[in-house]
Every structure is written in structure tokens, then in C-alpha cells.
Structure 1
Amino acid sequence: MSRSSTTRRYGLARIALSVLLGASALTSCGSGGQTITADAKTGNRKIRIAAPFISTMNSAVLYAQGNGIFQKHNIETEFVEIHGAGGLQATLGGSTDMAITSSVNPVAALQQGQEFPIIAQIGDGFPESVLITAAEWKKSGLKDDSPLKDKMKFLAGKPWGVSSPQGSSSYMAKYMFQLAGLPDDGFKLNSLGSAPGTLAALKSEKVVAGSMGSPYPQVAEAEGYAKVFIDVSGGEVPELRNTVTSVVAVTPEFYKNNKQLVADFRQALGEAQKLVYEDPKAVDEWIYNTHFKGSPKEAVLAGVQDQRDGGAIAKQPQVNEQSAERLVTFMKATGQPVPDDWRKIFVDLSG
């Protein structure tokens, strides 16, 4: 591995960590540790959850909110759209009570001395898959089942669109170059701000490849301008399966002061996660009609099924040690600092 490649990796890690460092300024003015009491009229406890965007990966938590599962446990939820590590910042400052965030963010925060207990998992595999333009797919001469090394060799040096330089898609791309036995400086990052921005760049052929979560890859393929090249969320890359990716995090004070609420939240989430796998037709129809209507229905349903087939949507809120250790392996391989005491922020591992 080249020295310049290593420098770039740590540069990306520092960008991500700088966002979290900025969060510490909110500590003094925040109320992230407050005890949530039941409403006198409804008996429900109201929580605000920072979430980056509507995604099929969040099927369980969305379904739990929209179909009365949280309410059955006397919990009312409000989702607040906040991207990236900003969800942790908002939670630390008291603007939200919980944050759905990439698992790397609480680990990176711990490295900086700020703990965010991880109380549940949303994703147990990488939600993003890799697209290439239809023209490049034809030019590649490759097949769906071509080896990962051949696919990554084809992508080396070609412009690759992602939402953010410090997002999981960027690190995932570098990791796949490593898994293919290729130098990861073949990853030519183009930061495009969002999944729609990446799709627009693919459609106009300003980039050759792009990575994003379902159902966007399936929709792009249905519309004919792109092809799912590496089906990561469907399990094509075994090393990226069974890895804690998306989690629910809180502040230590909130966890300490709301143990029963956290337990009830986990139970409700677990019930919804079970339904995602045991009653997929009902869940998927609701997800489509509520959040994705207007997009090609079969493509959206295919996107949810793809993540289910690959086990990317977590089947339970509990985090197992193997999934957490695979996260740590991924982070270390991509130059992201991991403290030795990382287990302490996983409530299922810390005891």
C-alpha cells in the first residue's frame, strides 16, 4: 500500500471525526440526558429520532412507527431528517433523543472521547450496491457472476459517484479494491451530495459508477440507464455481510435515565424486524405506498427483497459480537481509527 493512499485514508477519517468534534460544543446547552415521562393524556412517551433519509434499510423502524407497534409500547416517535454524523450532534445537543446513524460514527466519536451507547441495530450488512452506466456495462463484457476482482479492475481509475467522501459508500469502495487484491487508489471519488445527485451523474454519464442504497439501484436499472454491477446489499461480497452498519445511538445520560424506554423501544423494533422477514408482502406494500409511491413498484419491491436476501436489514435489535468485530475489521482496513475499548459502547456486548 502506498504512503499517499494511507494519507488519503486518514484524511477521510479526520473529516468524519471533525464533524463529531464539533458536536462537543453543544454539550453545555443540550438536554440529551433528560428523562422522558409519559404524556398525561395519552400515557405515551414521545421521542425524536434523527434519521438520515427514507430508505428501505429502515423498513422495520418505519413500519413500527406507521403501524402502531411503537404506540402499543406507549412510545410516540417523530423522525427528524439529519444527515451523517449530524444525527449524533443533534442528539448530544438535545434536539433529538436518538439517532439512526452509520455504525462508524459512534466508534469514531469514542476515539475522540465522546460515548454514544449503541442500543440497537438497523442494518446488519452494507445497504449500498454498485451501479455502472448501461453503456459501460455493455463495454465491460462482464457478467453478473464475474469475480469481484474482474469487476474492480474494470472500475479502477474510472469516476465513481458517492454522496459523501466520508460516507460508508466511500470506505466500502476502498475496501472492495483491497478485497480484490488491488490498490485502493484506483477509487476515483466524485462527491455528489446525495443518491439523486449520483443517479443524475450516472444518467448523464458524468460518472461511470456509483454506489447507493436500495431501492435506488433497482429503480435506475428499471429505467434503463444503469446496471447493478456489484450487488453488495444482496450478499455478493461475503466480507461485507453480517456487519453492523446502521445503528440507533443515544447519549450515556439518556441511556442511564431511560432504561425502561430503551427496553420498550428495542422490543417494539424487534417485533417490526421480525415482520420484515415473516410478513414481507404486507411490510413491503406499506413501505412502497407510504414512502416510494411514484417510483416503479416492482423495482422498489425488488430493492427491499434484495436487502432481505442479503440479510442487510437487521433481524433483531441485539448486536452480536461477530457482526461488531467485522465492523472493526472493516474500519481498520480502511484507515479509520478504532479505540481498544470499542465494545463499551455496544450495550449488548458491554454487559
Structure 2
Amino acid sequence: MKKLCLGLFAAGFSLISDSHAVAQDKIRVGLSSVSALHGAMWVAEQKGLFRKHGIETEIIVTGQGATAGIGALLANDIQIASAGGDSLVNAALRGGETVMIAAGVNKGLNRIMVRSDVKTPADLKGRKIGATRIGAVSHSVLLMMLKRWNMSPTDVQVLQLGSSPNMLQALDKGGIDGAVMTIPFVFIAEDRGFRVLVDLAETDIYYLHTMIASTRSYIKANRDNALRFLKGFLEGIA
């Protein structure tokens, strides 16, 4: 009789566990790039912090900078985006229903990496500069610095290369003269002999380099899911 009771208890516990697993609410999360800037997201995923709060996350890299990530969000291909704030604001100004629900980094961590023969900002005139995508954070950073250097956007030729790894490869092959890159690829570039023209973290420029975004319709319909997701994300930061 005891064996029967234990067997029934084990079976019941198994059903409860399976039911709990099925009860996990799924959220697709898009990262704008492969970067340490999204580290908290990976930590929360790997340590099971989202699952702890009943959320099953599918993390994908949308690539092509924040512009593509916000585009995927508006197309409902993902429910949460981790990307640059400028693209979210631009989408909202154009009538999109994007909304920021958290911010990860409010200071620029980009660096403009250049070939060794580029000594000053003026040396960039007529040169090819890599960015992830027009309208993405890397492009916005370049425009901000050109303005600060009293230069025009037309003074340089911007090439859309999609990611920091692609920009690093283009620098290696001589296809570009500079690039707006993020960590950890800026360190790799330095090891290969490229120099830092400007480190945004050392300037007095503040902007939403990385934020967590969703859409108003998703938040309205899935407020509890969003709150539980944020709990896991915040624990990933801690």
C-alpha cells in the first residue's frame, strides 16, 4: 500500500512539474547586435531567471542595429527588443506604438576606431566609415561627433555593414578607414593596431545606448508577462 501511495505521489508530482513547464509564458526577445551591452539578457537567460518568474524566452539576434530590431518589434516578429533608444523614439514619432519599458545603458559605449594614419577628426574627410545601419545607434553616434567636430555628414562616406564583426573585417581588409564599434570588438580592433579616435564614454554626451522596448498593444494585453520578464531582466543586472 505504501509503495502504491508513493507511486501515486511521484506520478502526481511529475504531472504538476510538467504542468508548470507548460505554464511558462513565451516571449521572443530580439537583440540588435552581438555585444556585451546585452550581457544582462544573456545572464538572465542562462541562469534561468526568466523561467524563475514563469517566462520562457527565445532570444534571437536581429542584427543590423536598432533599426532592424525595432522593425521586427513593430512587425510582431518579437515581443521585446533590446536596442538603441534613438530608433525607438524615431519610430514613435512616425506613429509607431513603440514604448520603452526599461533602460540598460544611458551613456555611450561606442568608440570610433580608425586606421593608424587617421590622427585627427579632420583626417576623416573623404574617408569611408562603417556603421551598422543608417538610423542605428552607431550612425547616430557618428553624426553627433561630426557635429561636435564642426564637420558635415557629407564629409564622410558611411557604409552600412550590419555589425561590429563585419566592420572589424572591413578594417582588416582596408575596405573602410574607420568604424563606430562596440565592446568587445573595440578591444580586438586595438589589439590589431587600430586606434581609438574617440571614446563616447569619456565624453559628456548622454543618450539611451541600450533600452528594453515593446509595443503598447503587447503591454496592454500582456502586462503581467511583461512585469515578470522585467523581474528576470533586473535580476540579471544584479
Count, aligned residues? 218
Look up the equivalent residue of 1:112 and give its one-letter code.
R
C-alpha distance in structure 1 between counterparts of 2:187 and 2:24, whole Å: 38
> How far 1:164 sits from its partner (Å)?
1.9
C-alpha distance in structure 2 between counterparts of 1:73 and 1:262, whole Å: 11
C-alpha distance in structure 2 between counterparts of 1:94 and 1:193, whole Å: 21
C-alpha distance in structure 1 between counterparts of 2:159 and 2:70, whole Å: 25
> How far 1:131 sits from its partner (Å)?
0.7
1:187 matched to 2:151? The reply is: no
> How far 1:173 sits from its partner (Å)?
1.2
> How far 1:57 sits from its partner (Å)?
0.3
1:229 is matched with which residue: 189, 194, 197? 197
- Give 1:181-220 correspondences, 5 Å limit: 181-220=150-189
1:255 matched to 2:223? The reply is: no
Q: Report the secondary structure of 1:122's partner residue.
A: strand
Aligned to 2:30: 50
C-alpha distance in structure 2 between counterparts of 1:226 and 1:175, whole Å: 22
C-alpha distance in structure 2 between counterparts of 1:175 and 1:85, whole Å: 17
8 Å CA contact retained: 1:202, 1:225: no
8 Å CA contact retained: 2:87, 2:135: no
Deviations 1:241-280 (A, max 9, x none): 3x21222222212111222222222222222223xxxxxx
C-alpha distance in structure 2 between counterparts of 1:78 and 1:72, whole Å: 15
Look up the equivalent residue of 1:227 and give its one-letter code.
R
8 Å CA contact retained: 1:152, 1:176: no
Higher strand share: 2
- Give 1:76-91 correspondences, 5 Å limit: 76-83=56-63, 84-91=66-73
C-alpha distance in structure 2 between counterparts of 1:93 and 1:209, whole Å: 33
Q: Report the secondary structure of 2:19's partner residue.
A: coil
**Judging changes above 3 Å, is the alpha-carbon distance between structure 1 residues 91 and 164 closer, same or farther for their aligned structure 2 residues?**
closer
> How far 1:127 sits from its partner (Å)?
3.3
Deviations 1:65-101 (A, max 9, x none): 1112222222221112223433333333433221223
Aligned to 1:102: 84
1:238 matched to 2:204? The reply is: yes
C-alpha distance in structure 2 between counterparts of 1:208 and 1:73, whole Å: 47
2:45 is matched with which residue: 59, 65, 82? 65
C-alpha distance in structure 1 between counterparts of 2:24 and 2:168, whole Å: 41
C-alpha distance in structure 1 between counterparts of 2:173 and 2:122, whole Å: 23
**Judging changes above 3 Å, is the alpha-carbon distance between structure 1 residues 159 and 91 closer, same or farther for their aligned structure 2 residues?**
closer
Q: Report the secondary structure of 2:142's partner residue.
A: helix
C-alpha distance in structure 2 between counterparts of 1:56 and 1:41, whole Å: 32
Structure 1: unaligned runs, 5 residues or longer: 1-38, 141-150, 275-351
C-alpha distance in structure 2 between counterparts of 1:161 and 1:269, whole Å: 31
What is the RMSD of the two structures over their aligned residues, measured on CA atoms?
2.2
Deviations 1:223-255 (A, max 9, x none): x231222122xx12211x3x2122222221211
Look up the equivalent residue of 1:78 and give its one-letter code.
E
C-alpha distance in structure 2 between counterparts of 1:188 and 1:156, whole Å: 9
> How far 1:56 sits from its partner (Å)?
0.3
**Judging changes above 3 Å, is the alpha-carbon distance between structure 1 residues 86 and 187 closer, same or farther for their aligned structure 2 residues?**
same
Structure 2: unaligned runs, 5 residues or longer: 1-17
- Give 1:277-292 correspondences, 5 Å limit: none
8 Å CA contact retained: 2:79, 2:218: yes
> How far 1:216 sits from its partner (Å)?
0.6
2:140 is matched with which residue: 161, 171, 180? 171
Look up the equivalent residue of 2:165 and give its one-letter code.
P
**Judging changes above 3 Å, is the alpha-carbon distance between structure 1 residues 60 and 173 closer, same or farther for their aligned structure 2 residues?**
same
> TM-score w.r.t. structure 2 length?
0.81
2:113 is matched with which residue: 99, 106, 131? 131
Look up the equivalent residue of 1:128 and give its one-letter code.
N
8 Å CA contact retained: 2:115, 2:177: yes
C-alpha distance in structure 2 between counterparts of 1:102 and 1:221, whole Å: 24
